[in-house]
Chains A and B, each alone.
Chain A
Amino acid sequence: MKKLAFHTMILAFCCGMMTSALAQEQKAAAAQAPAAQPPQETVCFESRKGASEVTKRDLQPGWPNVKCSPKTGAALWYGDPYDGTVPMGKMPGLEKIPEGHAVVKPRSEKLAILPMCATACHNGVGPAFNPPKLPKDKKPIPIPTMEGLLPDAKDLQHGRGRIWCLDCHHTTKRNMLVDNYGDPVSIDQPQLLCGKCHGDKMRDWRDGIHGKRIGEFASTGKKRWFTCTECHNPHNVQDGARNKGFVQIAPEAPPQLPKGMKDAKYERVHGIAH
């Protein structure tokens, strides 16, 4: 009897807790709802999470620019392949493509701290830069602020210890990359940098074999080209939860099971008649 009473008490206590918790959640939801309702934006990621994204909008009634997966949040369908793109700029080997037929989505828009790089810290002023001098060796000096802003920099997973920051980032213009001749190139044109080492991949990319292009399929048609860093994270191309060179992502929903099959493991358990 005593035990029962004790259990009842626990149950009552839990119920009370739950109702209060639920009420709190509801309150929170109610508080969030008016704030979240006006924009009603659906943003989906394109190739990998954390790189380029598209915001859903209607081009015509019932004809959106993109459809997003409700399960994973990935872009599932393109109505307008050129959404938010700019001309690619000069690219050696692509002279045959008519002007304006090669477009890219600027990477700089997605890199939040990029505008600050060359102004806030790497601005060429301060005791370390007066007179301007470069580090003696290629061992990166741990700078807590830098590592805080960019955790990948702590243990660079690219080049297996053979490369460091300034092999890719320009020495004096830190918001730019370096091309073959050491000249600064825009961060929107990483292919000019990556092709220095990965020449075979760049050749295939230029011909449309490696990487991804969307738009018109004719070889001179207008295409949106996906640049290197839209699919690969340059600071982490080696390790992590990856297989076959790709960071693992959640798959979309599986197809319907055939009639009579209860679950995907059914055959393993029950066998099949041949």
Chain B
Amino acid sequence: MLSASALMGSAALMTMSDDAKAATEWAEHFQKNYRLMTDAEKAEARTRLERRYSSEYGKKVTVDTTGPQPGVLMGYALNVRKCIGCRRCVHACVEENNQSRGTRPGEKIEWIQVLRMERGEFSKDKMNQGYPEGLGIQVGGNAYTPAGQVLEGQYRYEPEAVPEKDATYMPIACMQCEKPPCVKVCPVRTTYREADGPVVIDYNWCIGCRMCMGACPYWARRINLTTPVLPKEEMNPVTHYLGNRPRMRGVVEKCHWCLQRTRQGRYPACVEVCPVGARKFGNLLDPESEVSLILARKNVFRLKAELNTFPKFFYFYD
């Protein structure tokens, strides 16, 4: 009894503490899964986090808790013919979403990956060459031409200028599946599909088991193996609880279609920055939105459709 009261006393002391970080961490131990929290608890968590981040990063940080808007189902489309592989989307995402940006191994996290693929072709002189030889996994092309084999190192392409003559680029990130394998495997049910589409993570409940990373067929998830490196001046102070708020060590993170922007009606950061306009975002329930019109009018495919994950990220070409 004595020890219990002592514990409660110390708990009270911790909560009243002036140190925003200590107070937050203590309170977070008693916090529910985000989906089970009442509005009052959400508001409390929000105030707590705003106080913590503001003191940690030395500027006014807001943590949004806006829920899904009725009549909105977010969808994304990407024109693979247009992509030039300039990687501006990758860096826009990092600027927006407060990823770790250190230099040591595992400290640099990027959610979008731009795959570089060699162009395949059917030509007469290659018809009898048989199956491709060489290294790597064949991801494109056809059985007669070794073009389309991709080594992991190729994604780190760094030519003088893009697009290169012999390459095609295919950016991948979280596909926001309607039947997400990552959600199925999560043992603590911290990752789930929001009502307006995106699959999100309650970072506080993530135990860092990385089951979701293994389950995701699109290599979309990243783990904070180290304490994230996020300089104060580069931190984006407009955040969302399920979105880009600074993460802690040992949690998994991934693209969430810039929830802090899209819940307020803005385009995601990668869409706004694409210099060739290959990236399109819109409301699938609105027949006038660009994504609905693309689905109606263009040649559309989904990545690894045979896995029945039903992505809401569509690739198209003119």
By a beta-carbon cutoff of 8 Å, the part of chain A in contact with chain B is 46-48, 61-63, 67, 69, 74-78, 81, 96, 204, 207-219, 221, 226, 231, 241, 243-244, 246, 248-259, 261, 263-268, 271-272
Contact residues in A for B86 (Cβ distance below 8 Å)? 74, 249-252
B104-124 vs A, CB cutoff 8 Å, 1 = contact: the mask equals 011110100100000000000
When C-beta atoms are compared, the residue in chain B nearest to A244 turns out to be B163
Distance between Cα atoms of A46 and B235 in the complex (Å): 22
Our pick among A81, A210, A248 for the contact of B163 (Cβ within 8 Å) is A248
By a beta-carbon cutoff of 8 Å, the part of chain B in contact with chain A is 59-60, 81-82, 84-88, 90-92, 95-96, 105-108, 110, 113, 135-136, 151-165, 233, 235, 237-238, 262, 265-267, 269, 271-277, 280-283, 286, 288-290, 293-294, 297-298, 318
**CB distance A261 to B233 under 8 Å?**
no
From A46, A251, A263, name the one whose CB has the most chain B CB atoms within 10 angstroms: A251
Distance between Cα atoms of A180 and B87 in the complex (Å): 38
- Known contacts A63-B238, A78-B272; decide if A254 and B87 are in contact (CB<8 Å): yes
Contact residues in B for A209 (Cβ distance below 8 Å)? 280, 290, 293-294, 297-298
**CB distance B151 to A252 under 8 Å?**
no
**CB distance B267 to A214 under 8 Å?**
yes
When C-beta atoms are compared, the residue in chain B nearest to A71 turns out to be B91
**CB distance A261 to B153 under 8 Å?**
yes
Distance between Cα atoms of A111 and B172 in the complex (Å): 37
**CB distance A77 to B95 under 8 Å?**
yes
**CB distance A212 to B294 under 8 Å?**
no
Contact residues in A for B156 (Cβ distance below 8 Å)? 254-255, 257, 264
**CB distance B233 to A254 under 8 Å?**
no
Contact residues in A for B81 (Cβ distance below 8 Å)? 244
- Known contacts A208-B290, A209-B298, A249-B275; decide if A264 and B262 are in contact (CB<8 Å): no
**CB distance A61 to B162 under 8 Å?**
no
Distance between Cα atoms of A203 and B37 in the complex (Å): 47
When C-beta atoms are compared, the residue in chain A nearest to B274 turns out to be A212
**CB distance B95 to A67 under 8 Å?**
yes
B94 to chain A minimum Cβ distance, whole angstroms, is: 9
Distance between Cα atoms of A152 and B154 in the complex (Å): 36
Distance between Cα atoms of A46 and B86 in the complex (Å): 13
**CB distance A258 to B152 under 8 Å?**
yes
**CB distance B273 to A77 under 8 Å?**
yes
- Known contacts A217-B281, A219-B283, A264-B158; decide if A255 and B297 are in contact (CB<8 Å): no
**CB distance B163 to A246 under 8 Å?**
yes
From B153, B154, B293, name the one whose CB has the most chain A CB atoms within 10 angstroms: B153
**CB distance A212 to B155 under 8 Å?**
no
**CB distance B275 to A74 under 8 Å?**
yes
**CB distance B85 to A251 under 8 Å?**
yes
When C-beta atoms are compared, the residue in chain A nearest to B163 turns out to be A243
**CB distance B108 to A256 under 8 Å?**
yes
Write 28 A-B pairs (CB below 8 A) sorted by A numbering. A67-B95, A74-B88, A76-B91, A76-B95, A77-B269, A77-B272, A78-B273, A81-B272, A208-B293, A210-B277, A212-B275, A215-B266, A217-B265, A217-B271, A217-B289, A218-B286, A218-B289, A219-B286, A244-B82, A248-B162, A249-B161, A250-B86, A251-B159, A253-B91, A255-B110, A264-B156, A267-B135, A271-B135
**CB distance A249 to B84 under 8 Å?**
yes
When C-beta atoms are compared, the residue in chain B nearest to A96 turns out to be B288
**CB distance B152 to A267 under 8 Å?**
yes
Distance between Cα atoms of A204 and B296 in the complex (Å): 12
Contact residues in B for A266 (Cβ distance below 8 Å)? 153
Distance between Cα atoms of A255 and B262 in the complex (Å): 26
When C-beta atoms are compared, the residue in chain A nearest to B289 turns out to be A219
A251 to chain B minimum Cβ distance, whole angstroms, is: 5
3 nearest CB pairs, A to B? A208-B290, A212-B277, A248-B161
When C-beta atoms are compared, the residue in chain B nearest to A62 turns out to be B59
Contacts A231-B276, A243-B164 given; 8 further ones with Cβ under 8 A?
Answer: A62-B235, A212-B277, A214-B267, A217-B265, A244-B82, A253-B87, A261-B153, A264-B158
B108 to chain A minimum Cβ distance, whole angstroms, is: 4
Contact residues in B for A241 (Cβ distance below 8 Å)? 161
**CB distance B161 to A250 under 8 Å?**
yes
When C-beta atoms are compared, the residue in chain A nearest to B168 turns out to be A244
When C-beta atoms are compared, the residue in chain B nearest to A69 turns out to be B91
